[in-house]
């Protein structure tokens, strides 16, 4: 805290003697209410696709991240669209009931080869987003580059490089984990880091 | 039924005297099991969109259609995507529980201005499709032209023209019904007509 002159300091000390200074209250209170890092938060990252959706859950407390669980919801290429979406919806609802996450993270800013691909991926995203929203879980979207940057330090990292650094971050073995699941863990790590920086002021608006 | 020669006819008559001829059984049975038009079927048409989803339900029995209910699930342009999808998902599940439809119909073969629009509409379609699939309801897709053709007789009809002809088909007043809801009723009528023709052989594969 800075004071313009001696009189200003004296005024502040006077206030402090009579109770907590009002000026301090005003400046500190909003920052504290934004994100309390001492509370444990559970974050689920979801790498959505129609055929293979990766998911990864971590706990964060005071900047320390702990892996909880991860996996994939798989469909064979022969499965009908409605079957894929049914399995995805039921799977997501099961995960939410079992792990009760506080936040969800998905990848945004897509590049598609054609409109049909966008429509198919949109269906999968909508199914996941509806299941999360129905359970009151806020979903945040980060660009793929930002997710890779937050884990690997550069935005063009391969899926294998992401897996190696996720292993280091969470102190787990990722050799036998599907790459879609480690990608999902990377999303959760990205959001955990955003929460920790400047009391969470850097996190985007939820979807 | 055609016979090659007199001997063939005699053989068939012999079989018929000893019970129902096997050949006749084989040819008639599959057609009968495909669609039994004397059973009452309930069809829900859904005109899916993120901001305003129209729905319309009809009952069909022996080629006679009866309107059951119709309406729209609305979201304001200010609503977040997750809120829109939550409302759509809850709304669809309520409709399914209340009306227990046998089939669902949606519009297919889309033309989009850009990939973002496809992604947004895909989200809404995925949410609706997942809710239907979870409840074991088969969803059929028809091209917009085919839907208009089956109601109006030509594929370029306007929404207003569709509403007028839906009113005639179902013998209801559509003046105070939203155009998205009459469009949804037209989808249900299109599927009802497809069911009635050639024992339902003309209906497409479900999604």
Q: What is the pLDDT of residue A17?
A: 58
Set of chain B residues whose Cβ sits within 8 Å of the Cβ of A133: 82-83, 85-86, 89
| R_g over Cα of chain A | 21
Which stretches in chain B have pLDDT values below 50? Answer: 1-2, 21-33
Tokens 């292993």 belong to: A167
User: Per residue in B98-155, pLDDT tens?
Assistant: 999 999 999 986 677 788 888 889 999 999 999 999 999 999 999 999 999 999 888 8
pTM for the whole thing? 0.80
Interatomic CA distance for residues A33 and A40, integer angstroms: 15
- List, in order of start, the domains of chain A with CATH numbers: 1-34 (no CATH), 41-200 (3.30.420.10)
Chain B positions in Cβ-Cβ contact with residue A103 (cut-off 8 Å): none
pLDDT at res. B25: 41
Of B86, B118, B206, the CB nearest to A119: B118
Are B170 and B151 in contact, with CB atoms under 8 Å apart? no
Percentage of residues in chain A with pLDDT exceeding 70?
80
Q: What ipTM was reported for this prediction?
A: 0.78
Long-range contacts of B192-197, Cβ-Cβ distance < 8 Å, separation of 24 or more: B192/B41, B192/B43, B192/B58, B192/B60, B192/B65, B193/B150, B194/B140, B194/B142, B194/B150, B195/B35, B195/B37, B195/B41, B195/B60, B196/B37, B196/B60, B196/B63
A&B contacts, CB < 8 Å: 106
Confidence of residue A12 (pLDDT cuts 50, 70, 90): low
Helix, strand or coil, per DSSP, at residue A58: strand
Catalytic positions of B, written as ranges: 47, 107, 180
Q: Is B123 in contact with A119 (Cβ distance < 8 A)?
A: no
């Amino acid at each position: 805290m800075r004071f313009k002159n001696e009189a200003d300091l004296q005024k502040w000390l006077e206030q402090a003697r009579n109770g907590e200074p009002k000026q301090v209250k005003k400046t500190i209170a909003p920052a504290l209410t934004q994100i309390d890092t001492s509370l444990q938060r559970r974050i689920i990252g979801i790498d959505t696709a129609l055929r293979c959706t990766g998911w990864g859950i971590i706990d964060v407390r005071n900047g320390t991240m702990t892996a909880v669980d991860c996996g994939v919801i798989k469909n064979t290429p022969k499965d009908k669209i409605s079957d894929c979406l049914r399995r995805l919806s039921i799977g997501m609802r099961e995960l939410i009931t079992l792990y009760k996450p506080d936040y969800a993270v998905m990848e945004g800013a897509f590049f598609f080869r054609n409109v049909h691909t966008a429509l198919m991926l949109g269906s999968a995203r909508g199914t996941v987003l509806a299941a999360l929203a129905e359970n009151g879980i806020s979903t945040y979207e980060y660009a793929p580059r930002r997710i890779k940057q937050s884990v690997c330090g550069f935005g063009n990292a391969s899926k294998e490089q992401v897996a190696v650094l996720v292993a280091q971050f969470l102190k787990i073995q990722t050799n036998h984990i599907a790459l879609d699941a480690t990608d999902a863990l990377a999303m959760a790590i990205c959001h955990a880091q955003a929460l920790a920086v400047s009391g969470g002021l850097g996190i985007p608006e939820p979807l």
